[in-house]
Amino acid sequence: MAVTTSPLRPPSRAPELIIPRPEPGSGVIVLSDNLPALQALPAESVRLIYIDPPFNTGSRRTLTRLRTVSDPENGDRVGYQGRRYRTVRLGSLSFEDVFDDFLAFLEPRLLEARRLLTPDGSLFVHLDYREVHYCRVLLDAIFGRQSLINEIIWAYDYGARSRRRWSPKHDNILWYARDPKGYVFRYDAIDRIPYRAPGLVGPEKAR
């Protein structure tokens, strides 16, 4: 897919932002704060929106940039069909994941997301136990409670384990539809996607 990069003006000039409409089969990558970028897009122009905002953990978060290269002999990761890869560390970025009013930060972005969705579009919001329940109430107010299609649980088993409490080992993804009776969901297409880790499923599914 061809991709066009489009650096935008600072957020203070958000009303003047212009995002080029991509040609069919191409895409646009926008480097900007997401709110002015969302405001610059036309209504009912996006079928699927997936957002993974900060989780409001109350601590400093460090994101490590990694690249994987094929290494059949010494790879430290196993991918699709058992192929081994070696991890190369490229660098890291840090930010303070602290919000005095997390919902006030999210609300204008969620309102814009609803405006952008096509009549058959869906929004997926990826959070964890700290804010997901408050966010669900906010999304109910924006979309209507009937527009909640599902809460998807992403379970995992990596990370630290606490000796004082049950360790959190899942994230929450809220799925809302613009029209709960007219959204797009293609089960057959999803079932055809191969799993990257064959150990998670039977050999038939991993092919």
Tens of pLDDT, residue by residue over 124-139, are: 999 999 999 999 999 9
Tokens of 164: 């004082």
* Residues 169 and 147 reside in one and the same domain: yes
pLDDT score recorded for residue 195: 58
How far, in Å, CA of 177 to CA of 184, rounded?
9
**pTM summary value:** 0.72
Q: What is the CATH number of the domain that holds 138?
A: 3.40.50.150
Give residues with Cβ within 8 angstroms of 163, minimum separation 6: none
Full domain range(s) for residue 86: 60-97
| Count of structural domains within the chain | 3
DSSP string, 132-159: HHHHHHHHHHHH-GGGEEEEEEEE---S
Give residues with Cβ within 8 angstroms of 189, minimum separation 6: none
Tens digit of each residue's pLDDT (9 = 90 or more) over 153-186: 998 777 677 888 888 789 999 999 999 999 999 8
* Residues 2 and 91 reside in one and the same domain: no
pLDDT score recorded for residue 27: 85
* Residues 8 and 106 reside in one and the same domain: no
Q: Which residues of the chain have pLDDT under 50?
A: 1-14, 206
- Dihedral of alpha carbons 121, 125, 41, 19, sign: negative
Cβ(143)–Cβ(88) below 8 Å = no
Half-sphere exposure of 88 (CA within 13 A, CB side): 6
* Residues 49 and 110 reside in one and the same domain: yes
Crossing angle (nearest 10°) for helices 102-116 and 132-143: 40
* Residues 107 and 149 reside in one and the same domain: yes
How far, in Å, CA of 133 to CA of 172, rounded?
10
* Structural domain includes residue 36: no
- For residue 64, give the 3-state DSSP assignment: strand
